[in-house]
Amino acid sequence: MTEPQTHTLEAPGAVLHYDVRTGTAAEPALLLIGSPMAAAGFGTLAGHFTDRTVVTYDPRGSERSERADATVETSPDEHADDLHRLIEALGTGPVDLFASSGGAVNALALAARHPEQVRTLVAHEPPAAREVPDHEEVLAVMRDIRETYLRSGFGPAMAKFIAFISHEGPVPADFTSRPAPDPADFGLPTEDDGSRDDSLLGQNLMTCNAYELDFDALRAASTRIVVGVGADSGEEFTARASRAVAERLGTAAVEFPGGHAGFLGGEYGQTGEPEAFAAALHKVLAERE
């Protein structure tokens, strides 16, 4: 595998930045994506696929891929169109795709529209709120977090987000009326700097969680779809959503080591079980039908 080479790609309303690490194997290129997590989050995982050509990218609105209007929300359909353009620009034919969190929702939207572009999709812990029984409560929490962000800024909103993603089991109806967590307890800023362009809270939070997946198209797609769930994720929201998505697809979720961030090796200050995670991903990708 070579050192990553950075490229740019024009898309409506944004310039996308992506990195290509060229491998020697004849396998299709492997895309590693998240949302809003950018390419920087996949350095460790990419290093475990040295024979493959590995592509990472910054989704629009994240890090290097600035969008023309940073205050506008971005939809999974828009992200899917970006991925479609990126795969076309690679010119390598169908790819294998590992997608985490919001990236998994975007990748499922891509597979529904352009299944010919993706050979195997591993969708790891998609936050598909509409698929859990308590979807109304989950979406109410999302609205509350976004309203907090617009009203009070990053710290208070992110504190609520962390409290939510740490919650296990169905979301109680009174969740949003409980005392708000203190941002300082999470090392977050307590002062509002006035910015409202955060890629998670400002651009993707509501659109990603509220997105309605096209299960008819996904079940009919030529793409092999594997839904991944963290072995340590318990009954956290994204784990529950993953199992629900897999059930709608007529499959069972496949466990991966660690939790929601199991593939990270220190990126963004988080460390999961990257070596074991990569081994599990190798195994899943090799089990092609």
CATH class of 5-128+214-286: alpha beta
Distance CA 75, CA 73 (A): 7
Q: Which helix (H) or strand (E) holds 5?
A: strand 5-11
248 token code pair? 């709608």
Distance CA 239, CA 229 (A): 6
Amino acid at 275: E
Residue-by-residue DSSP string for 133-182: TTHHHHHHHHHHHHHHHHHH-HHHHHHHHHHHHH-BSSPPTTGGGSPPPP
The closest alpha carbon to 4, from 28, 15, 20, 18, belongs to: 20
199 token code pair? 């890629």
Distance CA 29, CA 45 (A): 14
Distance CA 233, CA 243 (A): 11
pLDDT value at position 281? 98
Q: Which helix (H) or strand (E) holds 86?
A: helix 76-90
In order of 203, 204, 242, the CA distances from 75 in angstroms are 8, 7, 20
pTM across the whole model: 0.97
Distance CA 185, CA 54 (A): 38
185 token code pair? 């307890």
**Cβ(116)–Cβ(91) below 8 Å:** no
289 residues of the chain, pLDDT tens digit each: 679 999 999 999 999 999 999 998 878 999 999 999 999 999 999 999 999 999 999 999 999 998 888 778 999 999 999 999 999 999 999 999 999 999 999 999 999 999 999 999 999 999 999 999 999 999 999 999 999 999 999 999 999 999 999 999 999 999 999 999 999 999 999 999 999 999 999 999 999 999 999 999 999 999 999 999 999 999 999 999 999 999 999 999 999 999 999 999 999 999 999 999 999 999 999 997 5
The closest alpha carbon to 245, from 78, 77, 125, belongs to: 125
Q: 3-class SS at 77?
A: helix
Distance CA 61, CA 118 (A): 24
80 token code pair? 């899917």
Determine the number of helices (DSSP H) and then strands (DSSP E) in the chain. 9, 8
pLDDT value at position 289? 55
**Cβ(111)–Cβ(220) below 8 Å:** no
Please, which residues have CB within 8 angstroms of residue 158's CB and are 6 or more apart in sequence?
A: 183, 186, 188, 201
Span(s) in the chain for CATH 3.40.50.1820: 5-128+214-286
Q: 3-class SS at 233?
A: coil
Amino acid at 227: V
Distance CA 118, CA 288 (A): 13
